[in-house]
Amino acid sequence: MTGQDYTPPTSASIATRQNDDEALRLLLAQRRLYTRAKRWQGARWLGLVILGVAAPFISILIPASAVAAGAITGIWLFVGRTFLTAAEVRTMTKAAAIQEELDLYIFQMPETIERASRPTIEDIELLVRDKEELRAAARRERLVDWYDVDPSHPGAETIAIAQRANASYTDRLIRTAVTVWAIVTVVWLAMLLTWSALSGLAFGLILLGVLLPVLPAALDVADYLRSTWRAAQDRADLARTIESRLQDNKPIIGQELISWQTQLYDLRRTTPQLPDWLYKITRKRNEAAMHAASKRLRRRER
C-alpha cells in the first residue's frame, strides 16, 4: 500500500488494535527506551548541577582553585555535549522509531520511509522481557487505551484527533518544563549573587569566583531552554493545523494523516527529553485536558 492509497480504518478497529499484545509490546518498549534516554540526559545534568552548586563556593573558599573549577566545568560540559548527548540522542531516536511503528500499527498506515534507527525485533523483545506479564505491566504503567477513541466516530477524524492530542500534550508538557527550569535557573543565579553581595566580596572576586565557574552550565541550560521552547512551538503549530482541519467541513483524506504522522515522527526524534518526575506530576492534569479537548472536537464534527 502506498500513501496515496491509504484508507483509514474504523474507530472500532483502532480501539481494539491499540490494546492488543503487539501494541502493548511496542508501547512498553518505547517507554523504556525513552527512560534510558532520560538517564543519559540526567547524568549530564547531574554533573552540571553539582558543578554549578559546588564550583562557586570552592572558588571563593579556595581562590587558587578557581581556574581548576572552571576547567573541570568546561571538561564536563564537553563530555556532556559529545558522548552523553550522543548516547541520549541515539536512544531517543530508537524510541521515536518504535513509537512511530506503534502509530503505524494502530492506524494501519503504510510505512512511507525506511527508518534505519528502528531497533530489531530482538532488541524490542529484550526491552519488554520482564517477570511481570505484558498486560499487567501495561496496566501498571497506564498504557491501556493509549488514545482516546470513540468507536462510533469516523476513523479519519479519530486518527487526526489522536495526532493532535499527541502534539498538544507534549507541547503543554514542554512549556511547563521550560517554565520550571527557567525559574530554577533565575532563582539559583539570584541566590549566588545575593550570597556574594552579603559576603562583602569584591566585584572581581564575584566575577572570577562565582559567575565564571557557573557560566558553562548556565549556557548549557540556556541552550536547552531555547531548543525546548522551539520544539514546543513546532508542536503547537502542528496541533493548530490539525485542529483547524478538523473544524473544516471537508473530509480528511489519508494523505493528510500520513503527512501529519511524518511531522510527528520528525518532532519526536528531535525534541529534547523531559524529566520523568515532571511527566508524572502533570500527567493526570494533562490527560484530563487532552480527553476534554478530544470530546469537544468530536462534538463539533457532529
Residue 201: predicted pLDDT = 57
Residue 256: predicted pLDDT = 94
Residue 202: predicted pLDDT = 57
Q: Which amino acid appears at position 230 of this protein?
A: R
Residue 240: predicted pLDDT = 94
Residue 196: predicted pLDDT = 65
Q: Which amino acid appears at position 154 of this protein?
A: P
Residue 59: predicted pLDDT = 64
- What are the C-alpha distances in Å from 178 to residues 39, 205, 227, 232, 241? 19, 31, 10, 9, 23
The residues spanned by each domain of the chain are 3-144+153-301
Grid cell 466516530 in the structure block, residue? 153
- What are the C-alpha distances in Å from 186 to residues 47, 48, 175, 210, 222? 19, 15, 17, 15, 11
Query: Where would I find the H helices in the chain?
Result: 11-17, 21-61, 66-79, 85-107, 121-128, 134-140, 155-198, 203-206, 212-246, 254-268, 276-301
- Alpha carbons 83 and 256: distance in angstroms, whole number: 38
**3-state DSSP assignment of residue 247:** coil
From first to last of its 302 residues, the chain has per-residue pLDDT tens of 555 678 999 999 999 999 999 999 999 999 999 999 989 988 888 887 777 666 666 666 676 666 676 677 778 878 888 898 899 889 999 999 999 999 999 999 998 777 767 888 888 888 888 756 888 888 888 889 999 999 999 999 999 999 999 999 988 888 888 888 888 878 877 777 676 666 665 555 555 555 666 666 677 777 888 888 888 899 999 999 999 999 887 889 999 999 999 999 999 888 888 888 888 898 889 889 888 988 888 876 55
**Contact present, 260 and 163 (Cβ < 8 Å):** yes
Residue 11: predicted pLDDT = 94
Residue 26: predicted pLDDT = 93
